[in-house]
Amino acid sequence: MTGAYAQTSTVTGKITDESGAGLPGVTVLVKGTTTGTATDNQGNFSLSVPNVATGVLQVSFVGYRQQEVAISNRTSVDIRLAADTKALDEVVVVGYGTQEKRSITNAVTTVQGEDIAKLTVADVGSALQGKAAGVSVVGAGSEPGASPQILIRGLSTINGNSPLYVVDGLPVANINYLNPKDIASLSVLKDAASAAIYGSRAANGVILITTKAGTKGDPKITLDVTYGVSNPTNIPEMASSSEYARIMNLAATNSNRPAVYPDPASLTSTTNWWDQIARQGSTQNYSVGLSGGSDRVVYSTGISYFKEQGLIKNSDFDRLSLRLKTEYQAAKRLKVGEDFNISVTNQKFLNNNALFRDAFNNDPITPARVAGTSGNPYDYYGASPTDIGNPLAVVERNDDRRNQYFLVGNVYANYEFVPGLIFETRFGSNNNVYERNAFSPFFTIDANERNQVNTVTREHNLEINWNNTNTLNFTKSLGEHNVSALAGVTLERFSTRTELAEGQAIPSNDPNLRYPDAATANFRVTGNDFVNTIASLIGRVNYDFKGRYLLGASIRRDGASVFPSANRWGVFPSVSAGWLISDETFMKGLAPVNFFKLRASWGRVGNQNIRSITNSAYTGTLGRVFYVTGDARTEQLGVIQSNVPNPNVKWETVEDYDLGTDLAFLENKLTVTADVFRRNTMDMLMSQSIPAHAGYGYNSPVTNIGSMKTNGLDFSVGYAKTTGEFTYGANVNATRAVSKINKLANGQALFSGNTPIFGRPSKTEEGGYVGAFYGYQTQGIFQTQEQINSYTGPDGKLVQADAKPGDFRFADLNNDGVLDAKDQQYIGNPTPDLTFGVNLTAGYKNFDLQVTLAGSLGNDVVNVTKGWTYSGSYNYNKVSGLEDLAWHGEGTSNTVPRIVANDNNQNLTRFSDFYVEDGSYARMRNLQLGYTLPKEASKVLRMSSLRLYVSAQNLFTITNYSGLDPEIGYGRYYTDLPSALNRGVDIGNYPTSRTYLVGANIAF
C-alpha cells in the first residue's frame, strides 16, 4: 500500500502471538491513512510514518483481536496479539433474549445479515439456501412471489412443516413483507430445547430475525441498487413438427393403425410453444436507509422496492416496503422503542401451475394464432388435437391479480429496577389485508377449448393478529457462579375474516367491466370469521460455574382455543447441559485446540397445526348444500353439518434429543460444529377417513392417531485466514434427517402424489419412509418373442400375455404368474441422504469474491413428464430424438420401450422404476465479485464508501436427472396439495431462472 504523503520516519517491530511466536502476514496500518504493510515470515515489519509523535498503528490479523498502538516517538514497536474469541463471545439472539455463543447449550445456527444481503431475492428462504447447517431450502421454480419450502432438520410431522418466524420479537406466519436486505442477523433454533420457549408454534423449528438498528453516531445514508436479467436454467429439446409427425406415424404403425400424417416431410413450420409464452425475466431492487443516533436515541429507517418480472408472460411480483426502528432512553432506567414495517405486494398470478409442462407437451403443428372474425380477441388462437389448452391463449387471457397490504410492528418498554433485574412489556401486531381480483373471459377456440360464460371474482381477507409479551429478566454473578432467569406471560389472538363475491355473464370481456356489479347471473357470496387464541406462561433458567459447566432449563405452558377445554393446556419443558472442556487445566497444553465444548439437550414442543385455524376440530360446523327435488328437479338450498367433531383431540407433541460439540483450532481459524439428533413425534394430528354411509358432506375428523421418528445429524466446518493482502475462507455445512412412520390411523397406508397418468406414486405406511415411491420393478425390455414366451408363472401361462418385443418386462415378485398390486414394492425415496451448502469467500486488496453452492445427495425424483414425452399414446409432443432412444429392434434399447399408440402392456401407464430417477444435484447458487473504491476516490465522489459488484445466481447445476430441474419440493394443488407426503413428484413446475445482476452499495 502506498502513502498519500511524504514519509519521514521509519518504524520497525515484531508482531507475535500469545506464546511469543512471530506471526506472518499481519496487516499493519497507520491509522487514518492507506499507508501500511504486512509482516514477514518471522512477524517483522518496517513502515514509514509521517509523524511518530502522534501516529497510531492499527494491527489486524484473522483470529486475533485488532489493536491500536500509539507510536509515541518510538522507532521500534513490538506488539503481542491476543486470540480473538469474538466469534465465540458473539451475542446470539435466542428466545426472548440473547446469550453469548460460547455459553449456549442448545442447537442454534446463526447467519449474519451481510451474508444474506449478497443475494437479491424476494424472500428470506431463498437467501438462506445453503447458508445454515440443519436448514434445507427447496425452491421448486422461480415463480414471482412464490416462497420456497423450508425444513429445519427434516420433517416434524406429515402435516405442514413450515418453521415459525419471529421478527424483532414478534411471531409471524407470513414473511413475504420483509426485504431480506433489512436483516441484521438470523438465528435458527433447531432443537426442541432451544425452541421450547416458543411452545405450541415451534414444532417445526424457529427462525429468529433481527432487523437493522441504528447506532450512536452521525447520520448515515446507505443506498443499494441492483438490476438483473433472467433466463431459464434448462429448456428441453422437443421434436419439430416433421419429427413429431414421424413419431406419431410410428406409434400408429406399431399398433396396427393407419398413419396419422401422410407426409411428415412437408411439415416445415414448427410452433415452439415455450418461445410463444416466454420472455426474458428481470429483477430490480432499490433500497435507501438512514441510521444514526445520540446518547438518548438511536434510529434506523428505510424504504425499499423490489420487482421481479417472471420468465413467463403475465407473471410478475413487486413489493414496496417502509420500515422504521427507534429506541429512546426515556429515563436513566427506562428504554422505550418501536419497529414498524409497512409493505405492499402486488402479484400477477398465473392460475395454471401446469402451464410450463403444457408448453412442451402441446403439439408443434398447431399454430399459436389464427385469423378470426368473431370480434372477441380471445378466440383467435390455434386449436390443438390434444386436450391441452393453447398455452399462449392461457397466458394472454389470464387475469388474476393478488395484492397484500402488511402492517407489522412492535412497541415496547423495558425498565431496570436494579442492576440485573429488567422488566419488559411488548405489544406487537401483524396485520394483513389480502385482495384478489380475477376474471375468466368467454371465448371459443374449438369445441373442446371454450368457455361460454365469463366469470368475475373479488376476494378480500383481513388478518388482524396481536401479541402481548411481558417478561422479567434477572442476571446475577456470585463469585464463580452465574445465573440468569426469565419469567413471562404471553397473550396472542389470531383473527381472520374472509369475503368472496363471484358472478357470471358480464356483458363483455372489456377490462373496464371486470367487477362483481357487472355480473348478471350465478351470483355467489361467501364469507366467514376465524378466531383463535393462545395464552402462555414461560420460564427459563441458565446457570454456569466458572463459565465452564453450563446448565439450562425452560418450560412453557400453552393454552390454545383450537383444542377442547379438557385438552386445552400443554406443557413443554426442556433441559440442556454443556461442558467447556477447553477451559480445563488439562487442555492448556493442547495448543492447536482453542475451543472445545460438549453439549446435550432434551425438550418437547407442541403442534396445534389442525386443518384450519378454527375450533372445528372439536365443534360441529354447518355448511351449505344444493340439492334437487321433485320431477322438475328444482334446485333447493339446505344446510348440513359439514364436519365430524372430535371432543378428544389434543396436542401433537414433538420430542427432541440432541448431542453436539463446538470446536475451534489454529487460533480459531478452523471451526467445527456437529450435532446428532433424534426426534419423536407423538399424537400426530391427522384426518381419519370415515365410511361413506356415515352421511353426505362430512369432512374427515381430526384425530391424534399417528407417530413418527426422525434420526439425523448436521455439521458445519469453517476456515478463514489472512495472508498479507489476501484473505480467504470456506464453510461447508450438511444435514441428514431421515423420517419413518411408527403408527397411522387404523394402520391404513396413505397414498399421495396424484398424477393423470398412473395415479398416486407415493405411499406412507407404518415402518416405512414418509412419501416413499411405491410401484413396479422393471427387468429390462423384451427383445424377442421367445423371451416373452419363456416368462411364465407356476401354471405355465404367460405372465405378460399382451406384451410385444420392445415392451417392459415387469417383475412378478411373488411368482404367482399374475402382475397385480402384490408385485409392487418401494422403488424410491424423496428424502435426501444429505443436503449441503458450500460458502467460499476471498479478498485481495479492494476486491472481494463470494461463492455459494447448495444441493442434495441420495434423493429420488419421479419424472412424471416422461409419461407424455416418451409415449405414443397421446397427441402430445415428444422429446427430440425419441425415435433413436426408444426400442426399435432387437438390441437397440433395454431402458426405453417401443413407441405405440395402444399401450396394452402398460409400459407407461403403470408406475414403475422407469419414472424414478436420482435427484441428486449441486447448484451454483451465487457467484459474486465486488470492488470497493479506495477512500480517496469515494471522497471525490462525495461518498463515504462505494462498492460495485456483479453476480450470477443459479449459474449452473450438476445433476444426472433427465428432467428440467431436480430441485423438486412439495407438490402443488393438482398433486394432492403441498404436504410432507407429497414430495419429489415432478409433474411440471415453474422454471428455475439463471439471473445475472449488477449492483452498487453506496454510503454517505
Instruction: Give the tens place of pLDDT for each residue, 787-842.
Output: 999 999 999 999 999 999 999 999 999 999 999 999 999 999 999 999 999 999 99
What is the model's pLDDT at position 697? 46
What is the model's pLDDT at position 350? 84
Q: Does the pTM exceed 0.75?
A: yes
What is the model's pLDDT at position 221? 93
Q: How far apart are CA 571 and CA 283, in angstroms?
A: 46
- Residue 974, classed as helix, strand or coil, is helix
Q: How far apart are CA 128 and CA 121, in angstroms?
A: 10
Q: Following DSSP, what letter does each residue of 911-968 receive, concatenated? A: -BTTSEEE--EEEEEEEEEEEEPPHHHHHHTT-SEEEEEEEEES--EEE---SS-S--
What is the model's pLDDT at position 975? 54
Q: In this structure, what DSSP letter does residue 32 have?
A: T
Q: In this structure, what DSSP letter does residue 210 have?
A: E
Q: How far apart are CA 498 and CA 502, in angstroms?
A: 13
Decide if 444 contacts 450 (C-beta within 8 A). Answer: yes
**CA proximity to 501, closest of 446, 456, 435, 447:** 456
Q: How far apart are CA 850 and CA 727, in angstroms?
A: 12
What is the model's pLDDT at position 641? 60
What is the model's pLDDT at position 613? 39
H or E, element range at 436: strand 421-440
What is the model's pLDDT at position 884? 96
Answer positive or negative: Cα dihedral of 258, 261, 265, 270.
negative
At residue 43's C-alpha, the angle toward residues 41 and 48, to 5°, is 110
What residue ranges of the chain have pLDDT lower than 70? 1-8, 18-19, 32-35, 62-64, 83-89, 140, 351-353, 609-645, 687-701, 971-978
Decide if 200 contacts 89 (C-beta within 8 A). Answer: no
What is the model's pLDDT at position 1? 36
Q: How far is CA 481 from CA 476, 545, 550, 552, in A?
A: 8, 5, 10, 14
**CA proximity to 856, closest of 959, 947, 776:** 959
Using only C-alpha atoms, what is the Rg of the chain?
Answer: 32
Decide if 817 contacts 799 (C-beta within 8 A). Answer: yes
What is the model's pLDDT at position 587? 83
Pairing of strands 91-94, 164-167: unpaired
Decide if 127 contacts 121 (C-beta within 8 A). Answer: yes
Q: In this structure, what DSSP letter does residue 768 have?
A: S
What is the model's pLDDT at position 6? 40
Report the 10 Å Cβ neighbour count for 407. Answer: 15
Mean pLDDT of the chain: 88
Helix %, strand %, coil % of the chain (to 5): 10, 50, 40
